[in-house]
Amino acid sequence: MAKNDVTIRTQRLNKSFGTVQAVRNLDLDVMAGSRFGFLGPNGAGKTTTVRILSGLLKQTSGYAEVCGLDVNKDRDAVKAVTGLLPETPGLYSKLSAVEFLEFIGALNGRNGSDLHRRIDSLLGILGLEGRQDDLLESYSSGMKQKVLVSSTLLHEPKLVFLDEPTSRLDPSATAIIKDLILVLAEETDTTFFICTHMTGFAEAVCDVIGLLNEGELVTRGSPQELIESAGARNLEDAYLKIVGGKVDREVLLAWR
């Protein structure tokens, strides 16, 4: 897929769970090789959008296409070209990091020495080489997140969905993930679709930001464009101005 091709396209995408409208008329274009930051408050519909785009959830109405594939009709093909880092870790506590990654590789049809070379390299980059044979039950949440990041990248997907990739990571691990995203996007044309609350991280990594509120895309543009259009100092300030969320000091003490 050449640069400037569209990797993700949605048209009037809707998703309802009973009376709750999780995603509302979402129109989105994400270019190949870009790093798209999907920001929004809790419950805004970010994870639901990711699950629809990765072929795990059926939309209520509208159209969604990933790498030229219809997410409704070509689910297995969509899964083959995408990687998903879920919001919460679903690791096997009684497997080691290497064994878990071998499991993910095998699920994606890979095995043998090539798979093991990749596993060793990824775990080395993420600083887990000394603990790779320890059972995952003894890992801290940050270490588990690193294993999950490795599992997402293992089969070299063209499009990577990262749902809160740095929420459990310390600053140095966050920096490694940031650099890994930047180098993969630049060198291999991998597209990243990143759901996050970390505005600082989004500002540093993403070239395009979409702001979702109550299932609706309220604005999109480069971080700088969003900051300037909101008349804010930085992305966090812009986020608060657009979405709201600032509470007066008096209100903060009113519960007493």
Q: Does residue 207 interact with another protein by CB under 8 A?
A: no
Among 37, 40, 45, 86, binds another protein (CB under 8 A): 86
What 3 state SS string does 159-176 have? EEEEECCCCCCCHHHHHH
Q: Residue 72 or residue 222: which is nearer to another protein going by CB?
A: 72
Q: Does residue 56 interact with another protein by CB under 8 A?
A: yes
Among 1, 21, 41, 75, binds another protein (CB under 8 A): 75
Name the token pair of 38: 């999907």
Burial label for 49, CB within 10 Å (0-12, 13-18, 19+), is: buried
Among 4, 18, 76, 252, binds another protein (CB under 8 A): 76
Rounded Cα–Cα distance for residues 156 and 243 (Å): 35
Q: How many residues bind another protein (CB under 8 A)?
A: 46
Q: Which residues of 26-40 are buried (b: 16+ CB within 10 A; e: fewer)?
A: bebebbbbbbbbbbb
Q: Does residue 221 interact with another protein by CB under 8 A?
A: no
Q: Residue 36 or residue 100: which is nearer to another protein going by CB?
A: 100
Q: Does residue 57 interact with another protein by CB under 8 A?
A: yes
Radius of gyration of the chain (CA): 19
Q: Does residue 95 interact with another protein by CB under 8 A?
A: yes
97-156 binders of another protein (CB under 8 A): 99-100, 102-112, 133-135, 137-140, 151
* DSSP string for residues in 188-214: H--EEEEEES-HHHHHHH-SEEEEEET
Q: Does residue 213 interact with another protein by CB under 8 A?
A: no
Provide CB contacts within 8 A for 75, sequence distance 6+: 55
Rounded Cα–Cα distance for residues 127 and 140 (Å): 13
Rounded Cα–Cα distance for residues 186 and 207 (Å): 12
Q: Does residue 178 interact with another protein by CB under 8 A?
A: no
Among 10, 49, 82, 190, binds another protein (CB under 8 A): 82
Binding site for another protein (CB under 8 A): 51, 54-58, 75-77, 79-80, 82-84, 86-96, 99-100, 102-112, 133-135, 137-140, 151
